[in-house]
């Protein structure tokens, strides 16, 4: 027996009113796998859908991803401070890998921060990735799209390289990939196409001097040879920090260049497909004719459909025809 | 011979020191409270509950003067356990000597001044690693030239063993640490002084109850130190290359259960560092038998001093040359340890040296400690009175009403706040401002030595918190790695039962059981919290652990935002009576409801009862060493709150 799940529609209404304190309850709900909770999550998503809002959610969803140990957490705490100084509210959804042996996880970098606990315009939630290797926690997509209704910036932070940025790209408006100087593998991944081209590439530890400058130059050259105009920004998170404002501008500039509606429509379709796959597995995908076929079919659906409606449509399509 | 002492305020500690000196103690060993150690004034939010608790509160030059009143500093050897703020406390000490008309060049003593072990184990750091190493190098460069009889740094492997280090790790990390320090100093002193610099570096090591191996460890350290001096720093003078060390014997192995047995353990551990003359400690510090219960009383300290006196004056220990000379067994043991240590030092060097390898070393220590704990739980490692031979007669030693420990008067904190206010209002604030802005300027200029500006600020009347805040603004703040992320999971059989319970409860709750492990306040002893966090993860929980030094409101805000089902708080500094209720009310304020709070620490039963009354669901002390049992308790507790059933399906 578990406590009765929160009322999804009511939570959605609170978010629409800009009530940032609804965030913990939203996360508790979307993370819960019980049947009642899932029904309420659907109600929540409906309440924050573009149809209900009359527009796309105004919040800016930023993906921040990169290999472990490159300094993502300290960078994030600097970024959060910069956004706050700008008067923007920020939610951070940190997705941590979980132990495959026990199912448990150790969370808690909480953006590596020296935090001001009295600032309610910053919300940080760490979530274990769950059983899926390197994947987004299933709840994270729902949380990101819901919180984007109330928060100015929603950060989805993931760990990894080569795979994770692709998944984050489905959720985020703008993806920043964070690397440290001397990570030659990222260069190789980019050139060979193992890794998608990020919207913004961040090179940490610029305080190291020449090594960092060289890394930045190499990555810029690689991006140019791939015909990409993505920005490469050098940052340092140790005192005194450097490059943070430049990074904020680069992220904003990418978002400004984006066709937001088209991007979010695609993101909802990918969200629905991910939820469908989580529920019905490979057999479900085969019934749709495979992942590529499913994506193609989804792209012909009505742009106004929300995630729940899209998933129901997929489920219907996967039913064996009489 | 001396005992580590200090509590409450400067006046009370001064009385204690004078009493100890009368009893035959030959030097001072000053214990500072956590706010002084981490650079906060007694009126800072983080100082709450900690003022005067684990040592004396020293907020400015006036406090230092009172602390040393009537103690002739030109004749005294004073050891100060101070690290992040060592430069500042040394400055205050020099100013207090001026007041007694004693020249700084006449002063003798030691500042611990070792920051790496603070990141790895003890937790009283203030600034990031780079600037901290500079402060250390500055104090060494300054004392070598102006306070020549001062030991500016005591490289501590003691705390590494407390954090779980094996003998090989203890040797290797201490040596790697020394290399990092010496390399930093080399940039700041004329090359011809490096010999004296090398000669001024002393060590503070640990001695465990496996006293033969521990003795071999010290011989191995002496050997490596000599080699390092010859090869890396070209130290010609043999005396400069002598391995000088002080010891505090192991606290990790002391038990709360049948704590009187600790007296035997301490005596055996003392042998480890005195038996062979070639690796004999220069200074020995023995803990009190009841340290696992709380702060020792004067009588407990006397008992521990008497043990040292018996060893020195009754036994024939000091009458022979090195008794292990020519021992094949001892030489073999030493060679084995040296080989292992060289490999591990090579690994640290490959990572870029000790400063860069902090994360690696921290993870390695958490892992060693986890392994040690596993061996105790499985019975592979015998701890008498704890996991074997547990039955006991009631102890008359702990029978008295105060629980057998010294309790610090809660009034001290209020008094210190008031005294600080008076101090601030009576000083020349323009002079203080000028001294602090000069300090900031010097801090920004890496080529200058921080000491002259520090001494000037002490003289002008600046406070401990002001000195530290000025440097924090220049250097930035820092949170050390927790080391828990990389710890290997325990073998699954012992855990499978509790894991099943966690799974069933998580199913019932709808999402995975989420556990916040928090360390409120300034207490940096994180070993316990780390082991709990790792075990809970291995039991299948999602664990939020953010490391040390959090305010009650930060803990409450994390609990609310993270949506945790249960909270565990760990406090070993004795400030639970103030801090736990603050966390509880912060939780209520943050709207965290129906989330049980459990507490672990050195908590006398009388206090535990009060905490339970205040709403704490369970209190754990060092006698609750079975972590799996604790995990099952936690599962049951959450299940009860949610009316969930975690019994195995029939």
**What pLDDT is attached to residue B1?**
55
Using the predicted structure, report yes or no on whether residue A133 has a pLDDT greater than 50. Answer: no
Q: Give catalytic status of residue B523 as yes or no.
A: yes
pLDDT level of residue A1 (50, 70, 90 thresholds)? very low
H-type helices in B351-463, by residue range?
358-378, 411-426, 429-444, 450-460
Q: Cβ of B561 and A102 within 8 Å? A: no
Range of lowest pLDDT (A95-109, A114-128, B575-589):
A95-109
If one compares B133 and A96, the residue with the highest pLDDT of the two is B133
pLDDT level of residue B401 (50, 70, 90 thresholds)? very low
pLDDT level of residue B170 (50, 70, 90 thresholds)? very high
> Percent of chain A having pLDDT more than 70?
90
Buried b (16+ CB within 10 A) or exposed e, B161-179: bbbbbbbbbbbbbbbbbbb
**Is the ipTM reported for this complex over the cut 0.95?**
no
**What pLDDT is attached to residue B397?**
82
**What pLDDT is attached to residue A114?**
58
Question: Mean of the pLDDT values across residues B165-194?
Answer: 96
B472-490 pLDDT per residue, tens: 999 988 888 888 877 666 5
Whole-angstrom Cα distance, residue B443 to residue A135?
45
Q: Which two tokens mark B595?
A: 């989330």
Whole-angstrom Cα distance, residue B275 to residue B315?
11
Mutate to test the interface with A, among B559, B562, B643 (most CBs of A within 10 A): B562
Range of lowest pLDDT (A178-192, B159-173, B252-266, B562-576):
A178-192
Q: Cβ of B492 and A101 within 8 Å? A: yes
Question: Mean of the pLDDT values across residues B109-138?
Answer: 94
Whole-angstrom Cα distance, residue B451 to residue B91?
7
**What pLDDT is attached to residue A100?**
64
Task: Please report which helix (H) or strand (E) contains residue B631, including its range.
Answer: helix B627-642
DSSP letter assigned to residue A3: P
**What pLDDT is attached to residue A181?**
87
Query: Looking at the complex, does the CB of residue A126 fall below 8 Å from at least one CB of chain B?
Result: yes
Query: Looking at the complex, does the CB of residue B533 fall below 8 Å from at least one CB of chain A?
Result: yes
Q: Which phi and psi angles does B247 have, rounded to 5°? A: -135, 140
If one compares B574 and B451, the residue with the highest pLDDT of the two is B451
Q: What is the pTM of this model?
A: 0.89
Rounded (to 5) percent helix, strand, coil in chain B:
55, 10, 35
Within its chain, how far is the Cα of B381 from the centroid?
25
Catalytic residue of the set B17, B40, B158, B620 = B158
Range of lowest pLDDT (B22-26, B443-447, B645-649):
B645-649
Using the predicted structure, report yes or no on whether residue B15 has a pLDDT greater than 90. Answer: yes
Query: Looking at the complex, does the CB of residue A104 fall below 8 Å from at least one CB of chain B?
Result: yes
Report the sign of the C-alpha dihedral through residues A65, B473, B416, B102, in that order: positive
Average pLDDT score, chain A = 87
Question: Mean of the pLDDT values across residues A262-284?
Answer: 90
Q: What residues in A contact B484, CB-CB < 8 Å? A: 106
Using the predicted structure, report yes or no on whether residue A134 has a pLDDT greater than 50. Answer: no
Question: Mean of the pLDDT values across residues A301-305?
Answer: 89
Q: Give catalytic status of residue B7 as yes or no.
A: no
**What torsion, rounded to 10 degrees, do the Cα atoms A82, A88, A91, A96 define?**
-20
Q: What residues in B contact A102, CB-CB < 8 Å? A: 489, 492, 495, 499, 537-540
Report the sign of the C-alpha dihedral through residues B163, B166, B171, B175, in that order: negative
Whole-angstrom Cα distance, residue A135 to residue A104?
16
Using the predicted structure, report yes or no on whether residue B351 has a pLDDT greater than 80. Answer: yes
Task: Go through the domains of chain B in sequence order and give each one's CATH number.
Answer: 493-642 (3.40.50.280)
B3-14 pLDDT per residue, tens: 667 788 999 999
Of the ranges A264-268, B21-25, B429-433, the best mean pLDDT one: B429-433
If one compares A37 and B256, the residue with the highest pLDDT of the two is A37
**What pLDDT is attached to residue A322?**
56
pLDDT level of residue A33 (50, 70, 90 thresholds)? confident
Q: Cβ of B510 and A34 within 8 Å? A: yes
Average pLDDT score, chain B = 91
Residues 6+ apart with CB under 8 A from A68: A159
Mutate to test the interface with B, among A8, A102, A119, A121 (most CBs of B within 10 A): A102
Query: Looking at the complex, does the CB of residue B515 fall below 8 Å from at least one CB of chain A?
Result: no
Using the predicted structure, report yes or no on whether residue A287 has a pLDDT greater than 50. Answer: yes
């Amino acid at each position: 027996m578990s406590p009765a799940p929160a009322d999804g529609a009511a939570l959605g209404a609170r978010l629409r009113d800009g009530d940032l304190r609804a965030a913990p309850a939203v996360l508790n709900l979307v993370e819960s796998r019980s049947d009642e909770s899932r029904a309420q999550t659907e109600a929540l998503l409906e309440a924050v859908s573009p149809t209900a809002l009359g527009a796309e959610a105004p919040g800016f969803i930023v993906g921040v991803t990169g290999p472990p140990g490159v300094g993502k957490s300290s960078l994030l705490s600097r970024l959060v401070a910069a956004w706050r100084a700008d008067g923007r509210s920020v939610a951070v959804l940190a997705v941590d890998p979980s132990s495959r042996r026990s199912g448990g996880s150790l969370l808690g970098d909480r953006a590596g921060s020296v935090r001001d606990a009295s600032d309610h315009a910053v919300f940080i939630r760490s979530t274990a990735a769950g059983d899926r290797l390197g994947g987004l926690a299933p709840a994270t997509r729902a949380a990101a799209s819901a919180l984007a209704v109330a928060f100015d910036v929603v950060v989805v932070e993931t760990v990894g390289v080569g795979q994770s940025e692709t998944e984050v790209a489905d959720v985020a408006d703008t993806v920043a990939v964070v690397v440290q100087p001397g990570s030659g593998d990222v260069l190789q991944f980019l050139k060979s196409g193992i890794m998608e081209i990020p919207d913004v590439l961040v090179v940490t530890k610029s305080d190291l001097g020449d090594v960092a400058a060289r890394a930045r130059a190499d990555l810029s050259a690689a991006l140019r040879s791939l015909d990409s105009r993505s920005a490469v920004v050098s940052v340092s998170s140790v005192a005194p920090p450097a490059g943070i404002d430049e990074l904020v501008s680069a992220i904003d500039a990418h978002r400004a260049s984006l066709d937001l509606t088209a991007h979010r429509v695609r993101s909802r379709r990918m969200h629905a497909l991910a939820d469908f796959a989580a529920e019905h597995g490979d057999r479900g995908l085969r019934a749709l004719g495979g992942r590529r076929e499913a994506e193609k079919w989804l792209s012909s659906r009505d742009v106004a459909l929300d995630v729940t409606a899209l998933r129901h449509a997929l489920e219907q399509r996967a039913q064996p025809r009489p | 011979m001396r005992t580590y002492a200090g509590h409450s305020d400067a006046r009370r500690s001064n009385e204690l020191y004078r009493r100890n000196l009368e009893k035959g103690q030959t030097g001072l060993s000053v214990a500072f409270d956590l706010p002084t150690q981490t650079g906060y004034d007694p009126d800072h939010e983080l100082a709450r509950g900690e003022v005067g608790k684990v040592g004396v509160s020293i907020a400015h030059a006036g406090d230092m003067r009172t602390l040393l009143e009537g103690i002739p500093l030109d004749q005294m050897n004073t050891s100060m356990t101070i690290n992040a703020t060592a430069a500042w406390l040394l400055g205050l000490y020099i100013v207090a000597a001026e007041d007694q008309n004693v020249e700084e060049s006449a002063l003798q003593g030691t500042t611990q001044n070792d920051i790496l072990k603070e990141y790895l184990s003890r937790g009283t750091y203030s600034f990031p690693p780079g600037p901290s190493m500079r402060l250390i190098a500055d104090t060494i460069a300054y004392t070598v030239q102006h306070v020549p009889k001062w030991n500016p740094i005591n490289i501590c492997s003691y705390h590494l063993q407390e954090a779980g280090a094996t003998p090989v790790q203890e040797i290797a990390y201490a040596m790697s640490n020394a290399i990092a320090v010496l390399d930093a100093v080399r940039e700041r002193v004329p090359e011809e002084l490096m010999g004296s610099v090398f000669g001024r570096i002393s060590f503070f090591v640990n001695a465990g109850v496996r006293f033969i191996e521990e003795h071999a460890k010290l011989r191995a350290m002496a050997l490596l130190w000599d080699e390092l001096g010859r090869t890396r720093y070209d130290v010609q003078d043999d005396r400069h290359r002598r391995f000088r060390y002080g010891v505090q014997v192991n606290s990790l192995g002391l038990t709360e259960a049948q704590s009187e047995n600790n007296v035997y353990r301490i005596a055996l551990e003392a042998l480890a560092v005195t038996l062979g003359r070639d690796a004999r400690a220069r200074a020995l510090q023995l803990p009190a038998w009841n340290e696992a219960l709380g702060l020792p009383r004067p009588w407990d300290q006397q008992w521990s001093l008497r043990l040292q006196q018996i060893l020195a004056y009754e036994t024939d220990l000091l009458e022979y040359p090195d008794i292990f000379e020519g021992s094949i067994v001892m030489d073999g043991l030493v060679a084995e340890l040296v080989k292992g240590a060289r490999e591990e030092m090579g690994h640290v060097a490959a990572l870029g040296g000790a400063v860069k390898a902090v994360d690696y070393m921290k993870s390695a220590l958490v892992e060693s400690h986890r392994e040690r704990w596993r061996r105790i739980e499985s019975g592979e490692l015998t701890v008498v009175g704890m996991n074997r031979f547990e039955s006991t007669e009631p102890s008359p030693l702990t029978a008295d009403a105060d629980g057998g420990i010294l309790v610090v008067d809660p009034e001290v904190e209020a008094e210190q706040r008031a005294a600080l206010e008076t101090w601030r209002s009576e000083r020349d604030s323009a002079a203080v401002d000028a001294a602090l802005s000069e300090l900031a300027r010097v801090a920004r200029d890496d080529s200058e030595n921080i000491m002259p500006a520090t001494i000037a600020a002490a003289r002008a009347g600046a406070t401990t918190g002001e000195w530290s805040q000025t440097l924090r603004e220049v250097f930035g703040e820092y949170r050390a790695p927790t080391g828990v992320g990389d710890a290997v999971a325990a073998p699954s059989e012992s855990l499978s039962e509790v894991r099943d319970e966690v799974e069933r409860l998580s199913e019932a709750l709808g999402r995975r059981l989420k556990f916040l492990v928090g360390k409120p306040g300034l207490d940096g002893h994180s070993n316990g919290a780390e082991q709990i966090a790792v075990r809970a993860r291995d039991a299948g929980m999602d664990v939020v652990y953010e490391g040390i030094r959090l305010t009650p409101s930060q803990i409450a805000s994390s609990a609310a935002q993270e949506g945790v089902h249960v909270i565990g708080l760990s406090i070993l500094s004795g400030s639970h009576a103030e801090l736990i209720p603050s966390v509880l009310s912060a939780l209520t304020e943050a709207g965290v409801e129906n989330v049980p709070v459990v507490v672990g620490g050195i908590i006398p039963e009388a206090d535990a009862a009060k905490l339970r009354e205040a709403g704490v669901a369970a209190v754990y002390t060092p006698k609750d060493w079975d972590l799996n049992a604790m995990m099952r308790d936690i599962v049951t507790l959450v299940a009860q709150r949610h009316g969930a059933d975690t019994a195995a399906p029939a």
